[in-house]
Structure 1
């Protein structure tokens, strides 16, 4: 076990925010906690989707019935079951049914290529898929046994329904796949205990029986873990956005009609709402947002409109179960300072480490995360797991830590501040460059709504910075943006190309799709935009 050297000043800096222990059902499972909530609130509404309402009693019963059908299909404790269901009450029923069998669910999107789905199934040993289009899935994936899910189905009681008498807290609840640096997706296995640590005794938002959480994220995106279980394991209501394309007018209607109290929005979606229709979020009590670095301009607009404390910046990699830190925005941010990612959430500890040394206030290092929210590791990838997860001695405390690859520092107020990625740093003409530094200055441009800065390999042997900019008005030109940056940054930090775009493309998880931007640029010279400036 490696040791991390700790100075007195570094110890004080970390002790100030690492006392996060809160009581939660650490030895329970998701089904066990849900059954208690269902017994307490049997006739209260658990799930809303349009005109459909599902009570806790009905959701418990329907998921029992589906669990029995899964058991008859051979699903047992420790198995992995693919779930390919559109956002609907059937989706929630399917997830609960899998968990009640003692199995883990593997979210699958029907739009994914067949080769990818076969790869994920092969990595996890998955042989059964639950779907609301079972016949179609059976045709596409003949190697998987397709089981239909219908939330309103009732069947006679089945003694095989009960499944395991007790599901261990350290059993795997679900597997989410993230992109891998070698081109092969990595399956992140998340335990029941990790989910309960996320949603029970929360300090980053209020989660109780009055909570009504919007479920908007694709289920394959780990934000769905918070949206679904944050509501149902606290006796609240999960309000589902229909499984169609997001429209702000429809979003506003749902937030008002269903009295939604809590939403999570990716940074890109949050920025778009702030630019186009900030009134959409007026009815919501808690606005959680994160996934990428935030701009002070958009956050400042939000704080001014919604008031102090309603917007919470959250941060966390999939490997730490959705969220690891939080920062409520209580005052207008300074243009000069980045938005902090804050302090650890409950039952989570974080460390800023440079090499084998714990960093003091103001020192930049890699952000390491500890606590029961950590994943078991990557399915079938022991070397990748060992590279990212390891045991350390930190000031006499034995910790299993996840190395995030994110750089951070502790500011003078005791908040963690994101400072880029270890693998984002690039060399251009011999200079070390952080694209985030350029993006920070573009965020402050009064005529720019959104921006992304990427490093790209252009001509052979020539790496360059490329900026993609969404202008706020006709006064913004690529030339004016270049002049703006040239007046503030050394020449090697001014992007070689500046593309003006009508919008930034989003991935299925709501984040800016950088690959799509670069691929469009490579194919057409301009990513669907109306102006591009190239510096010789």
Structure 2
């Protein structure tokens, strides 16, 4: 008997619409027939090297048509894909590979070999397909088989892999919210190692739509406006932080899009109003979920908010059961605050190779049949009278930075391993703009600690969104009466500035100094103070780039700010640049 799976559903769609374009990346296009055949060929090759049911295949590739072929090919072997992010430090990737048992690794031609790979295959090379049949491999797969394993920040001090089933992915894709045509042409901008990429790829591909793959690199309003117009994008997902940034700097860049999904953090009502006013006819849809829940489990279109009230998380999607429970796991009345538990067909299998963590977060469901489970989200919520969920706060220390899940304990574990660190606490601070950043409070050993070396160590071992923006040396960590760290009592951070203050010497430098001070919410900025030492990160760099472009007319990207992080360097770069209007 054939069971439904992600790849069998795709093959059925390819049979229905073989000549429709499935994937577009720049000038490259693949029809459904071509994508299916290429994936079949690569799958047959992977099968020769041992890929099969419940077998991991690691994928280290940038966004491209070859990436989509590779992910589909892995599924066609009966195995599961384990995407790595090229921005991960090498040591982090190595740990993931070792934990997976040295799997086959699919890479771009530019990618370098990882010692943890059993075999490396260049998935964008013609020889990956040569002499392989284009027919579907015959491999038995059940809905309970693993489709992919994605790694998130872990409270154990190590990244943890979440094993998601075919059933969970198919459950999300079958929801009625995708049926209004807003997802015919979906823009894919998330790295494949993050769960939103599942929506960006499989919702359109299993429903006869088209995936528009953004080229690798930084993403800004200029690019979004261009790609939306050129490729007639109808749907996309933006993290709450990126949505807020675009709403502030260029809300009309979404003109032409039918639906934009947003979530992953508190959604700004002011940002929703600005975007809706600038883009008549656009539907903003709130989404909530987790990697453990096959991406999204609640959704609702957002009515134009008339006040600063928070945006609800939405209502349950198809096949999802929501429970708001107290400490005894009894239901709380509507309007009361409790922890959100999620049951139904969307739950992941658990944490890859970690039955202890799985048992802690995936617990028995007393409201369903024997053997059914529910997932403890760790989110405090309340159920409104109209059936929507309002977010209140987190129970534990887990936070979201730029839409990514971060466990402070993992960051603390990395920092505490360095000589000179006696104790460390990592907390999230929120700026007036709503952007969150991490701050590390370090208690040095008597011998002292080199903060610059500690920052470099963090960059070498953690993804960039997990590297603290500020490192603060303190004599001791304040404690609550029960002996826990009193994170609220930790002082506000101060950021490093150049030892000698150098003032601006021309009008453009004055503008840039004022811009740095405003965006980074610091006091006086000198022309040699580094954007990063002042607490900058890529989301704030996008804000700076957008305002420089508005003020000077010079096309400015996040990369330009990252490559010239001081006012002096930016001023030199701008002096050599030509405003777009005069080109």
TM value normalised by structure 2: 0.70
> Do the aligned residues in 1 keep the contact of 2:285 with 2:302 (CA within 8 Å)?
yes
Q: By how many angstroms is 1:48 displaced?
A: 0.3
Q: Which residue of 1 aligns with 2:148?
A: 174
2:150 aligned with 1:124, yes or no?
no
For 2:46 and 2:367, the matched residues in 1 are separated by: 45
Q: Which residue of 1 aligns with 2:80?
A: 104
Q: Which residue of 1 aligns with 2:23?
A: 47
For 1:420 and 1:284, the matched residues in 2 are separated by: 31
For 1:59 and 1:69, the matched residues in 2 are separated by: 16
Q: Which has the higher contact order (CA 8 A, sep 6+)?
A: 1
> Do the aligned residues in 1 keep the contact of 2:255 with 2:282 (CA within 8 Å)?
no
Q: By how many angstroms is 1:167 displaced?
A: 1.6
- Give CA-to-partner distance per residue, 1:261-289, whole Å, 9 cap, x none: 00000111111111111111111000001
Among candidates 452, 461, 465, match of residue 477 of structure 2:
461
> Do the aligned residues in 2 keep the contact of 1:341 with 1:418 (CA within 8 Å)?
yes
Q: Any idea what SS the aligned residue of 1:31 has?
A: helix
CA RMSD of aligned residues (A): 3.4
Q: 1:465 to 1:255 in 2, by over 3 A?
A: farther
For 2:493 and 2:202, the matched residues in 1 are separated by: 38
Q: Which residue of 1 aligns with 2:112?
A: 137
Q: Which residue of 1 aligns with 2:130?
A: 155
For 1:205 and 1:465, the matched residues in 2 are separated by: 46
Q: By how many angstroms is 1:204 displaced?
A: 3.2
Residue segments in structure 2 that go unaligned for 5+ positions in a row:
400-426, 442-471, 479-488, 496-513, 524-531, 541-564, 568-583
Among candidates 199, 206, 210, match of residue 226 of structure 1:
199
Q: Which residue of 2 aligns with 1:89?
A: 65
> Do the aligned residues in 2 keep the contact of 1:303 with 1:330 (CA within 8 Å)?
no
Q: Any idea what SS the aligned residue of 2:286 has?
A: strand
2:30 aligned with 1:30, yes or no?
no
Q: Which residue of 2 aligns with 1:198?
A: 172
Q: Which residue of 2 aligns with 1:244?
A: 217
Q: 1:70 to 1:208 in 2, by over 3 A?
A: farther
Q: Which residue of 1 aligns with 2:234?
A: 261
Q: By how many angstroms is 1:143 displaced?
A: 4.1
**Residues 425-440 of structure 1 mapped to structure 2, 5 A cutoff:** none
Q: By how many angstroms is 1:120 displaced?
A: 1.0
For 1:500 and 1:116, the matched residues in 2 are separated by: 24
> Do the aligned residues in 1 keep the contact of 2:182 with 2:259 (CA within 8 Å)?
no
Q: By how many angstroms is 1:504 displaced?
A: 5.2
Aligned length: 446
> Do the aligned residues in 2 keep the contact of 1:453 with 1:468 (CA within 8 Å)?
no
Q: Which residue of 1 aligns with 2:377?
A: 404
Q: Which residue of 2 aligns with 1:346?
A: 318
Q: Which residue of 1 aligns with 2:264?
A: 291
> Do the aligned residues in 2 keep the contact of 1:300 with 1:332 (CA within 8 Å)?
yes
Q: Any idea what SS the aligned residue of 1:324 has?
A: strand
Q: By how many angstroms is 1:461 displaced?
A: 2.9
For 1:299 and 1:453, the matched residues in 2 are separated by: 23
Among candidates 374, 381, 391, match of residue 364 of structure 2:
391
> Do the aligned residues in 1 keep the contact of 2:61 with 2:107 (CA within 8 Å)?
yes
**Residues 303-314 of structure 1 mapped to structure 2, 5 A cutoff:** 303-307=276-280, 310-314=283-287
Q: Which residue of 2 aligns with 1:23?
A: none
**Residues 311-330 of structure 1 mapped to structure 2, 5 A cutoff:** 311-330=284-303
TM value normalised by structure 1: 0.75
For 1:293 and 1:269, the matched residues in 2 are separated by: 12
